[in-house]
A and B are shown apart, each in its own frame.
Chain A
């Protein structure tokens, strides 16, 4: 359906950063016959020529063009952007895990860099950075208006090099932190036994996610002498990653069949992704933990498990990123790359999660009820977010939320406790039938 033209080089799309469910495909370039394109390009060239000749100081042409492309792509949606040659090289390096960084997933909000989640066992996590923090300054310089890739570029550097960042947390004075960069190794799948119930946490959907999960399942099976009595799959704070990995991860719990479908602009541009046969964790009672920071590939897994009735979703409503980006190298990456939203995806029952997210079957809050309606930071809070075509999907259902008691120690993980409680109570099957009902 799609072709890789030689002009685009042989590098297919790679993506390994926050919020991108990226397809491993590149896109055909045909020059569309838009009548006014030529005129518009002429206008653009005219402005550039005037800037070069009349601006009050000398300007750098390539910076000017880069800012133009960023302005254009950022106007489309929050996930489309231009990646310059240098950033693209870095990005490819990321897939090898060979850079010094702080270890957090970030996005852009109100012109500032916002932390989606700090990654476990990284300098960011150890320094106490929390999901929702705004990074306002790096080395005393304001980040206001900087692009996400500029900000990320500044945070990266040689392992061992210190960096000074200022964070702003709602209702508190700005905090300045000195953090030492480290090689960020992503141990993305962790597992352990919790009171006789298997617990697996996937922190990101990179290439190692599905294999990591399979290894974890195998180890747990061995630990329990064959069959795992119950399993908690923790996708909280997981910002997503590769679409293909989310399909493979779902296959561990589903015996073939549809996991997700994607649709592009043209009616014929439909892809259905089916799970592999096999279902390694067949028959294991499953609770999937999600929260507002579970996005993209996480939502694909959660949506498939929910729609196919394979497990119970517990936690809070997910982020709501229901779009797929392609990363298209320009001139083999020498001109950088273009990341654009090309498709939306749909759960097996045809739901789009864009904007609305996936509501849990059992809503459980991580923090005690403080009486305030908490505003959820979600896809629809992002400027220029693509709207869901289905109006009803945006009508958030009123959830009955189970809050921990007021004096509950948040580090005791109320949501996980509830998940284990359910799996051990003997009422799992009953509950599963009920939420299906």
Chain B
């Protein structure tokens, strides 16, 4: 739960710093009244609590209490973290190439980038890190823990690692400039395959073009069909989702975003000129595909350019703005807009429903509930009430004797791309929209 939340929060940096105009249309007296209650409570706590209290941390917790009650993606970003986030956006620091989360006081490796130095040194997702350079980081905040791992490129760091079922060990990792490889590609059963792990990478579109060129070369000058695998992709930069969609669309709308009053309606269009217009495309989705990944799938599906295969996606259809607060007061990450696919649907709390529902795991006789936006407390409700649920009887499951190391969803997708089913499914989209 916390792990997933953290991942989504990390992934949702949509670069839209709004200018902060706080012109209130509501009655100001009401809020002053409320502020007075709050100020009163604060002073009682300062004066009477059993231990000394730190006012800044009280306010930080108050802000988080208020903001997290709005929706799961709004939060207060304290000054230290805010500076760090800006640094990490520049991506100029050396690191170990791991994504970490806090779990029961431990720092747990959520994901080790396969190209990162930590992975090379044998650290895997699921490992717990108890110390960095001999400094115990158990029960420290994630920020403190991570800051010890960062530093100049080329310097060694000793990390104390606990792998499940093994004895604690020290691993020496040499820091490197870490940039996750965003695109992987190969030719699979005569069909092009690209996997995009994240949209948090501003070279994504360039790398994707290169990947496509390489596939084209491997297939001898043409790509008849392509699988874009967005399973587990939690999103990232909005701009990248627009430009990736633009590779396969000849102009036109990719998405629109709307705020509370109609005025801040923004429309994002694809660039003119599409690559491989005759290429068949299937997008693979999973319940972990969120945000920017849903924008791409939604645009290609709505525009009739691709079929979507897999399971219903996560359903994060909101845009957060990072609003800096004064001098060194941190920032506010606030949900300011919802976004809509070209046909005007909001995916908030609903996700993208694939054209063909294919499961990854075997049939258990019932539809297993998955962790999605609508599992989060306080998620923004979507007023759209048309049916979007997956139906058990519509899902294609792998047969019982299906080997575990085979990717049933991918195989099924390739099978569709290679037969006339593809066109039938694409034609059926017209009836849906």
Please indicate the chain A residues that have their CB under 8 angstroms from the CB of B325 in the complex.
43, 46-47
Residues of B26-82 contacting chain A, CB below 8 A: 26, 30-31, 34-35, 37-53, 55-59, 61-70, 74, 76
Asked whether B167 is an interface residue with its Cβ less than 8 Å from the other chain, the reply is: no
Chain B nearest Cβ from A271, distance in angstroms:
13
Q: Are B337 and A69 in contact (CB under 8 A)?
A: no
For A323, give its contact among B20, B50, B52, B56 (CB under 8 Å): B50
Residues of A308-331 contacting chain B, CB below 8 A: 323, 326, 328, 330-331
Binding site for B on A (CB under 8 A): 27-32, 34, 36-37, 40-41, 43-59, 61-65, 67-76, 80, 82, 142, 144-146, 264-265, 323, 326, 328, 330-331, 335, 338, 340-344, 386
Q: Are A58 and B59 in contact (CB under 8 A)?
A: no
Chain B nearest Cβ from A199, distance in angstroms:
37
| B64, closest chain A residue (CB) | A71
Please indicate the chain B residues that have their CB under 8 angstroms from the CB of A68 in the complex.
38, 62-63, 65-66
Q: Are A64 and B69 in contact (CB under 8 A)?
A: yes
- A37-B43, A72-B45 known, 16 other contacts, Cβ within 8 Å: A32-B46, A36-B55, A44-B35, A44-B38, A47-B66, A47-B332, A49-B24, A49-B31, A54-B259, A69-B41, A73-B45, A75-B58, A80-B49, A144-B1, A340-B49, A386-B50
Q: Are A56 and B35 in contact (CB under 8 A)?
A: no
Q: How far is the CA of A51 from the CA of B320 in the complex (A)?
A: 12
Please indicate the chain A residues that have their CB under 8 angstroms from the CB of B316 in the complex.
none
Q: Are B260 and A57 in contact (CB under 8 A)?
A: yes
Q: Are A65 and B37 in contact (CB under 8 A)?
A: yes
| B52, closest chain A residue (CB) | A265
Please indicate the chain B residues that have their CB under 8 angstroms from the CB of A32 in the complex.
43, 46-47
Q: How far is the CA of A148 from the CA of B6 in the complex (A)?
A: 24
Q: Mark B298-324, 1 if CB is under 8 A from A, else 0.
A: 000000000000000000001001010
Please indicate the chain B residues that have their CB under 8 angstroms from the CB of A342 in the complex.
48-50
Q: Are B61 and A53 in contact (CB under 8 A)?
A: no
**By CB atoms of chain B within 10 A, which of A34, A40, A340 has the most?**
A40
Q: Known interface pairs A55-B336, A328-B44. Does A71 touch B50 (Cβ–Cβ under 8 Å)?
A: no
Q: Are A36 and B56 in contact (CB under 8 A)?
A: yes
Q: Known interface pairs A54-B321, A55-B260. Does A37 touch B55 (Cβ–Cβ under 8 Å)?
A: yes
For B61, give its contact among A29, A75, A82, A323 (CB under 8 Å): A75
Q: Are B45 and A64 in contact (CB under 8 A)?
A: no
Please indicate the chain A residues that have their CB under 8 angstroms from the CB of B18 in the complex.
54
Chain A nearest Cβ from B101, distance in angstroms:
16
Please indicate the chain B residues that have their CB under 8 angstroms from the CB of A386 in the complex.
50-51
Please indicate the chain A residues that have their CB under 8 angstroms from the CB of B61 in the complex.
71-72, 74-75
Q: How far is the CA of A404 from the CA of B44 in the complex (A)?
A: 50
Asked whether B102 is an interface residue with its Cβ less than 8 Å from the other chain, the reply is: no
Q: Are B65 and A67 in contact (CB under 8 A)?
A: yes
Please indicate the chain B residues that have their CB under 8 angstroms from the CB of A61 in the complex.
26, 30-31, 34
| B61, closest chain A residue (CB) | A75
Asked whether B203 is an interface residue with its Cβ less than 8 Å from the other chain, the reply is: no
Q: Are A64 and B53 in contact (CB under 8 A)?
A: no
Binding site for A on B (CB under 8 A): 1, 18, 20-26, 30-31, 34-35, 37-53, 55-59, 61-70, 74, 76, 259-260, 318, 321, 323, 325-326, 329, 332, 334-338, 377-378, 380
Q: Are B259 and A56 in contact (CB under 8 A)?
A: yes
Q: Are A76 and B69 in contact (CB under 8 A)?
A: no
Q: How far is the CA of A70 from the CA of B49 in the complex (A)?
A: 15
Q: Known interface pairs A56-B336, A69-B41, A71-B65. Does A76 touch B377 (Cβ–Cβ under 8 Å)?
A: no
**By CB atoms of chain A within 10 A, which of B48, B56, B74, B318 has the most?**
B48
Q: Are B377 and A29 in contact (CB under 8 A)?
A: no
Please indicate the chain A residues that have their CB under 8 angstroms from the CB of B40 in the complex.
29, 330, 335
Q: List 13 A-B contacts (CB under 8 A).
A: A37-B55, A41-B39, A45-B35, A46-B22, A51-B70, A56-B337, A65-B38, A69-B38, A71-B68, A72-B58, A265-B52, A335-B40, A386-B51
Q: Are B69 and A144 in contact (CB under 8 A)?
A: no
Q: Are B334 and A54 in contact (CB under 8 A)?
A: yes
**By CB atoms of chain B within 10 A, which of A27, A43, A80, A386 has the most?**
A43
Please indicate the chain B residues that have their CB under 8 angstroms from the CB of A328 in the complex.
44
| B318, closest chain A residue (CB) | A56
Q: Are B65 and A63 in contact (CB under 8 A)?
A: no
Q: Are A56 and B48 in contact (CB under 8 A)?
A: no
Q: Are A340 and B65 in contact (CB under 8 A)?
A: no
**By CB atoms of chain B within 10 A, which of A146, A264, A335 has the most?**
A335
Q: How far is the CA of A40 from the CA of B38 in the complex (A)?
A: 12
Q: Are B48 and A326 in contact (CB under 8 A)?
A: yes
For A72, give its contact among B1, B65, B380 (CB under 8 Å): B65
Q: Are B64 and A52 in contact (CB under 8 A)?
A: no
**By CB atoms of chain A within 10 A, which of B55, B66, B325 has the most?**
B66
Q: Are A56 and B260 in contact (CB under 8 A)?
A: yes
Q: Are B66 and A51 in contact (CB under 8 A)?
A: yes
For B53, give its contact among A51, A58, A76, A344 (CB under 8 Å): A76
For A29, give its contact among B47, B323, B329, B332 (CB under 8 Å): B47
Q: Are B46 and A37 in contact (CB under 8 A)?
A: yes
Chain A nearest Cβ from B66, distance in angstroms:
4
Chain A nearest Cβ from B330, distance in angstroms:
8
Chain B nearest Cβ from A354, distance in angstroms:
10
Q: How far is the CA of A323 from the CA of B48 in the complex (A)?
A: 13
Q: Are A340 and B48 in contact (CB under 8 A)?
A: yes
Chain B nearest Cβ from A47, distance in angstroms:
6
Chain B nearest Cβ from A280, distance in angstroms:
34
Please indicate the chain B residues that have their CB under 8 angstroms from the CB of A74 in the complex.
61, 65
Q: How far is the CA of A413 from the CA of B171 in the complex (A)?
A: 53
For B326, give its contact among A43, A54, A56, A70 (CB under 8 Å): A43
Q: How far is the CA of A62 from the CA of B35 in the complex (A)?
A: 9
Chain A nearest Cβ from B6, distance in angstroms:
15
Q: Known interface pairs A52-B31, A76-B53. Does A47 touch B63 (Cβ–Cβ under 8 Å)?
A: yes
Q: How far is the CA of A62 from the CA of B44 in the complex (A)?
A: 19
| B23, closest chain A residue (CB) | A53
Q: How far is the CA of A181 from the CA of B403 in the complex (A)?
A: 52
Q: Known interface pairs A32-B47, A76-B45. Does A55 touch B66 (Cβ–Cβ under 8 Å)?
A: no
Q: Are A340 and B38 in contact (CB under 8 A)?
A: no
Please indicate the chain B residues that have their CB under 8 angstroms from the CB of A75 in the complex.
57-58, 61
For B66, give its contact among A71, A142, A341 (CB under 8 Å): A71
Q: Are A71 and B63 in contact (CB under 8 A)?
A: yes
Please indicate the chain A residues that have their CB under 8 angstroms from the CB of B39 in the complex.
41
Q: Are A338 and B260 in contact (CB under 8 A)?
A: no
Q: Are B55 and A338 in contact (CB under 8 A)?
A: no
Q: How far is the CA of A73 from the CA of B57 in the complex (A)?
A: 11
Q: Are A29 and B43 in contact (CB under 8 A)?
A: yes
Q: Are A341 and B59 in contact (CB under 8 A)?
A: no
Please indicate the chain B residues that have their CB under 8 angstroms from the CB of A56 in the complex.
259-260, 318, 335-338, 380
Q: How far is the CA of A351 from the CA of B25 in the complex (A)?
A: 57
| B2, closest chain A residue (CB) | A111
| B377, closest chain A residue (CB) | A145
**By CB atoms of chain A within 10 A, which of B37, B326, B337, B378 has the most?**
B37
Q: Known interface pairs A61-B30, A82-B41. Does A30 touch B69 (Cβ–Cβ under 8 Å)?
A: no
Q: Known interface pairs A71-B65, A74-B65. Does A142 touch B377 (Cβ–Cβ under 8 Å)?
A: yes
Q: Are A37 and B334 in contact (CB under 8 A)?
A: no
Chain A nearest Cβ from B265, distance in angstroms:
13
Q: Are A70 and B70 in contact (CB under 8 A)?
A: no
Please indicate the chain A residues that have their CB under 8 angstroms from the CB of B46 in the complex.
32, 34, 37
| B47, closest chain A residue (CB) | A32
| B378, closest chain A residue (CB) | A145
**By CB atoms of chain A within 10 A, which of B34, B56, B57, B65 has the most?**
B65
